[in-house]
Amino acid sequence: MSEYFVLVDCNNFYVACEQVFDPSLRGRPVVVLSNNDGCVVARSLQARSLGIGMGEPFFQCSRRLQRAGGVAMSANFALYGDMSARIMCCLQSILPGLEVYSIDEAFAKVPAKTARKTARQIQKSIPAWTGIPVSVGAAPTKTLAKIANRTAKKDPAREGICVLDREEDTRRALAATPVRDIWGVGGKKADFLRSRGIFSALDLCRCDPEFARTTMTVRGWQLRMELAGKPCLDLQTQPDPPKSIISSRSFSREISDPDSLRQAICAFAARSAERLRERSMHTSCVHVSISTNRFHSGPGHAESAHAGIMPPTNNSATIISRAAELAEKIMRRGTGYKKAGVMLTDLVPENRPPTFFEAPKEKRRKEKGLLKAVDSINSRWGRGTLRWAAAGTDRKRFWEVRREKTSPAYTTKWEDLPVARIG
Amino acid sequence: MRCSTDIKSFLPETELDLPLYLSAVQAGFPSPAEDHIDRQLDLNEYMVQNPAATFFVRACGDSMRDAGIHDGSILVVDRSRQPGRRSIVVAVINGELTVKRVEYKDKDLYLLPENPQYPEIKITPEMDFEIWGVVTGTVCRF
């Protein structure tokens, strides 16, 4: 029995979440901004038609938005995360064996015969249950399902559903998909393909197999097969273990005071170590990076450095002190920095085999107990209840995300429930 | 949109169960109730049938007083339920959330208050109207 891949993707997810609980935002130009209200990360249909681009810096479009009676919101990840969990839970009841691909997308497999019926059911029940509109694409391969989904979104006549089960229909959808919009084709690869006269997904699918084999990577070859309807990629229901953990921020103002910058970096290191422990992993390499404002003219400074840690650890104290040393090394006096970050790489599972450099057993046991106590206190009483002194002791921290226009946590805080006015 | 936010599965479990009874442990004799120990009662299970589609909304005002919805009550709203005749619903009228009882009279849709001091609202085509979800219960603390 042949199977189809289904891709469910929420339409303008972040904006749609805001509109569920604040109906006055419906039908208006609405954008959601990234951390620190820097860039546009989601747009309503009406905001798109104002010409506001994805990733556009907010200062470039705020006037345009305002003049059109539009609204800008800070990202409210507590809300989006909860709505995503609800959507995935609802989807799981219709499509067992879901691959959650991102916060607002999921793949699944269905029998080819029932693909259209299932797609219709999903397209009806997700908005009914959660208020979030979705588009559904179905096709014999994952790459084609992505294209089907894009087609469902672009062509209003399809009413949010596109099943590529007829040759003629598939051909037309492929012809209408430029190479840069194919899943897994980056900007550079798209430029290369265009230079070889391959402009659409259809061109790629029909290109000379000899050319494909000699000039493309394995991934490129797979792509061509997938576009031709021969599945190479399967569902990934077990997510890959993370290869790195990153904690970084743009500051709301430029920071030239070395103590402040070091404190911020220590705070990022502490947060990264916390996330490392949540995943039960150890790191053996710490990276620190700093940079000046890239929107300013004049000479900037961006630098990063890394240092190894042996034996691998998830102890905040070790990671923080290594990060602080690196920060000291790369900071230039008198330079105002706008962004800093800490990245942990070379991750291994916590229950790794021992190295030659392990601390005595008793010391390790104590260390682990301390970290466990810190984590459980912070999880019970809120993140930051117990903090590492190197990260500064001020309650108000300049690197903390600026979100001036955040909506309430409608679904995750009792004080923030949506209000219905009744007289 | 690729995003680094972790997606955690929706956990419908409650933290607090209400015990059916509490009995002191007696050493020596097995408890005669041992064979009869039941599952503990879970208020979530009682109030919420479909966790993924259930939202809490706070009522503000007294136009639904006689239906037991008071100022400050928390409404349990199940969006997966179809509104039936005379269901109490959360609805969107002209960009705002409200709570009323819905009723059809001669094919016209009305929103009825549950307090004689408030008027009925007849839904007309030019109104921006939508049923947001069906109210399946209220929760309030004293």
pLDDT tens per residue across span A363-378: 989 999 999 999 999 8
Average of per-residue pLDDT across A10-37: 93
Kindly state whether residue A148 falls inside one of the protein's structural domains.
yes
Please indicate if any CB of chain B lies within 8 Å of the CB of A238: no
Whole-angstrom Cα distance, residue A180 to residue A189? 8
B100 part of the active site? yes
Choice among A40-44, A184-188, A235-239, B88-92 with the minimum mean pLDDT:
A235-239
How confident is the model over A43-69, as pLDDT tens digits?
Answer: 999 999 999 999 999 999 999 999 999
Residues with Cβ within 8 Å of A46's Cβ and at least 6 positions away in sequence, in order, are A27, A28, A29, A30, A68, A70
Whole-angstrom Cα distance, residue A214 to residue A389? 57
Specify whether A158 is located in the same domain as A302. Answer: no
Please indicate if any CB of chain B lies within 8 Å of the CB of A268: no
Find the radius of gyration of the CA atoms of chain A: 25
Kindly state whether residue A353 falls inside one of the protein's structural domains.
yes
pLDDT at A1 over 90: no
pLDDT higher for A297 or A188?
A: A188
Specify whether A163 is located in the same domain as A250. Answer: no
How confident is the model over B65-88, as pLDDT tens digits?
Answer: 999 999 999 999 999 999 988 999
Residue of A nearest to B80 (CA): A129
Please indicate if any CB of chain B lies within 8 Å of the CB of A423: yes
* Domain definitions of chain B by residue range: 11-47, 50-139
Q: What is the DSSP string of A275-318?
A: HHHHTTEEEEEEEEEEE--TTS-S---EEEEEEEEEEEE--HHH
* A157-195 burial: b if 16+ Cβ within 10 Å, else e: ebebbbbbbeeeebeebbebbebeebbebeeebbebbee
The reply to whether CATH 1.10.10.10 applies to domain B50-139 is no
Specify whether A140 is located in the same domain as A249. Answer: no
Residue A401: what pLDDT?
Answer: 66
pLDDT at A24 over 70: yes
Kindly state whether residue A199 falls inside one of the protein's structural domains.
no
The shortest CB-CB distance from B52 to any of A129, A246, A423 is to: A129
Which of A151, A167, A183 is the C-terminal boundary of a domain? A167
Per the CB < 8 A criterion, the answer to whether A182 and A201 are in contact is yes
Per the CB < 8 A criterion, the answer to whether A132 and A17 are in contact is yes
Name which of A60, A123, A112 is nearest A90 in CA terms: A123
Number of domain units in chain A: 2
Specify whether A132 is located in the same domain as A268. Answer: no
Whole-angstrom Cα distance, residue B23 to residue A96? 43
Work out how many CB contacts closer than 8 A connect A with B.
115
| B136 phi-psi bin (left φ>0, alpha ψ -120 to 50, beta other) | alpha
CATH number of the domain within which A80 lies: 3.30.70.270
Specify whether A161 is located in the same domain as A251. Answer: no
Determine the structural domain holding residue A264 and report its residue range.
Answer: 245-391
Cβ separation A130–B58 shorter than 8 A: no
Kindly state whether residue A234 falls inside one of the protein's structural domains.
no
pLDDT at B7 over 50: no
Given the residues B31, B73, B87, B100, select the one marked as catalytic.
B100
Whole-angstrom Cα distance, residue A306 to residue A326? 7
pLDDT at B5 over 50: no
Cβ contacts of B90 on chain A, cutoff 8 Å: 420
Average of per-residue pLDDT across B39-63: 92
Specify whether A142 is located in the same domain as A267. Answer: no
The residue to which tokens 């015990």 are assigned:
B19
Q: How far is B5 from chain A (nearest CA, A)?
A: 7
Which long-range contacts link A179-188 to residues 24+ away (Cβ below 8 Å)?
A179/A203, A179/A204, A181/A150, A182/A143, A182/A146, A182/A147, A182/A223, A182/A227, A183/A142, A183/A143, A183/A146, A183/A147, A184/A143, A184/A219, A184/A223, A185/A223
Residue B30: what pLDDT?
Answer: 64
A350 token code pair: 């916590």
Q: What is the pTM of this model?
A: 0.79
CA distances from A214 to A191, A209, A220, A233 (A): 17, 9, 10, 21
Cβ contacts of A80 on chain B, cutoff 8 Å: 5
Residue A354: what pLDDT?
Answer: 84
Residues with Cβ within 8 Å of B125's Cβ and at least 6 positions away in sequence, in order, are none
Residues with Cβ within 8 Å of B44's Cβ and at least 6 positions away in sequence, in order, are B12, B13, B14, B51
CA distances from A104 to A82, A85, A247, B70, B118 (A): 11, 9, 22, 36, 42
Given the residues B9, B63, B87, B122, select the one marked as catalytic.
B63
A299 token code pair: 């000479």
Residues with Cβ within 8 Å of A168's Cβ and at least 6 positions away in sequence, in order, are none
B33 token code pair: 């109730």
Residue of B nearest to A76 (CA): B5
Kindly state whether residue A189 falls inside one of the protein's structural domains.
no
Percent of all residues in chain B with a pLDDT value above 70, rounded to a whole number: 73
Residues with Cβ within 8 Å of A103's Cβ and at least 6 positions away in sequence, in order, are A13, A80, A81, A84, B1, B3, B5, B7
Residues with Cβ within 8 Å of B35's Cβ and at least 6 positions away in sequence, in order, are none
Specify whether A160 is located in the same domain as A261. Answer: no
pLDDT at A271 over 50: yes
Specify whether A263 is located in the same domain as A121. Answer: no
Specify whether A252 is located in the same domain as A105. Answer: no
CA A338-A344-A349 angle, 5° bins: 160
Specify whether A272 is located in the same domain as A125. Answer: no
Average of per-residue pLDDT across A92-108: 92
Q: How many helices (H) and strands (E) does chain B have?
A: 1, 7
Which of A148, A167, A186 is the C-terminal boundary of a domain? A167
Please indicate if any CB of chain B lies within 8 Å of the CB of A90: yes
Per the CB < 8 A criterion, the answer to whether A64 and A52 are in contact is yes
Specify whether A7 is located in the same domain as A139. Answer: yes
Kindly state whether residue A176 falls inside one of the protein's structural domains.
no
Whole-angstrom Cα distance, residue A400 to residue A35? 10
* Confidence grade of residue A357 (pLDDT, cut at 50, 70, 90): confident
Please indicate if any CB of chain A lies within 8 Å of the CB of B137: no
Kindly state whether residue A338 falls inside one of the protein's structural domains.
yes
